[in-house]
Amino acid sequence: MKLAPHLLVVALGLGLVGQALATELKHWPAEQAKALDAMIAANANKGNYAVFDMDNTSYRYDLEESLLPFMENKGLITRETLDPSLKLMPFKDTAEHKESLFSYYYRLCEVDDMVCYPWVAQVFSGFTLKELKGYVDELMASGKPVPTTYYDGDKVVNYNVNPPKIFTGQVELYNKLMENGIEVYVMTAASEELVRMVAADPKYGYNLKPQNIIGVTTLLKDRKTGELTTARKQITNGKYDEKANLSLEYTPYLWTPATWMAGKHAAILTYIDEWKKPVLVAGDTPSSDGYMLFHDVNVAKGGIHLWVNRKDKYMDQINGMMAKHAAAQAKEGLPVTADKNWVIVKPEDIQ
């Protein structure tokens, strides 16, 4: 079949556009890129989706843990401005030292992660989303470690908290998945609204739909009318408007499911799909990401467990979980998937 000259030019032009849009996994080790490329090719344009954790998985370091001391150092978040419901135990002050809110957060984590995970999302209450977006962008633009202090026993330790550093490899993977018709979602144990300010802002490169960021949700309040809502409620009702929400005040009152530990699995069922499983789940923390990593990947479709190996301790833990869960699956006569289709990278491999 011969094409007319002008049609040939159009066809060639479209081909060049397609090539221009084809993202390559250049910031990935060859073996891992090959596995991801094969999975994407097998599952492209079939209504599939992928789910990523955010902190230490989609970028290096932690947004809330750096934004808290960043805003505290500016005098924006203080004990005096902290919502009374968040003053859960006495501050550890001495004659020489006043405890930082960052240190207070660390001590709440020593009580239990189930205490500090919600607290470090709730602590940003009292600001509008527009105000918080400005501080997030300022933190990201600075790129500088944020000085703070915490207690090691009774000793005060000076500490620098790194702000998020975009993983170029993950930006490539997000975009390649979407180019191939695989929807991408974020499932974060951090504040949904704060993570949305990075993941859904095109300048950071992820290019996610704002609706596809799922995380710790607190009620949003209209200061003029007192009306309460959440992005999750709006999205479910088909009435979400990211820009209109910027004037709303972030409150400390929590919405569920809470998106950490088993709550990540629950949120996939609640907000994405009850039966269709993702073809990729990415995480870095055994306790928080383990449930969705082991229970939600569609291994039958060649789905991938993507692990960012940032700590030897966590790698040992996830290896132990693979063996334990594979044995449990076999004992129950279930398909053994827990130890299959793992792609593992170190943070420096994808930076």
**3-state class of 25 per DSSP?**
coil
**Measuring CA to CA, which residue among 340, 334, 269 is closest to residue 302?**
340
Q: Counting every residue, how long is the chain?
A: 351
Active-site residue, 222 included: no
Mean pLDDT per 10-residue section of the chain, whose length is 351 residues: 46 46 94 99 98 99 99 97 97 95 98 97 99 99 97 94 98 99 99 99 98 99 98 97 97 98 98 98 98 99 99 98 99 98 99 97
- Domains of the chain by residue range: 24-58+166-217+255-349, 62-161
Active-site residue, 53 included: yes
Catalytic residue among 53, 62, 284, 296: 53
- For residue 288 the two structure tokens come to 């928080």
Catalytic residue among 55, 62, 284, 296: 55
**3-state class of 276 per DSSP?**
coil
- Please tell me the predicted confidence (pLDDT) of residue 146: 98
Dist CA 97 CA 108 (whole Å):
19
- Please tell me the predicted confidence (pLDDT) of residue 11: 43
- Please tell me the predicted confidence (pLDDT) of residue 16: 45
Domain 24-58+166-217+255-349 maps to which CATH number in 3.30.9.10, 3.40.50.1000, 3.40.50.720, 3.60.15.10?
Answer: 3.40.50.1000
How many CB atoms are located within 10 Å of the residue 275 CB?
A: 5
- Angle value at C-alpha 146, between 87 and 248, nearest 5 degrees: 55
Domain 62-161 maps to which CATH number in 3.40.50.2300, 1.20.5.440, 1.20.1440.310, 1.10.10.10?
Answer: 1.20.1440.310
Contact 79, 91 (CB under 8 A): yes
Dist CA 89 CA 101 (whole Å):
12
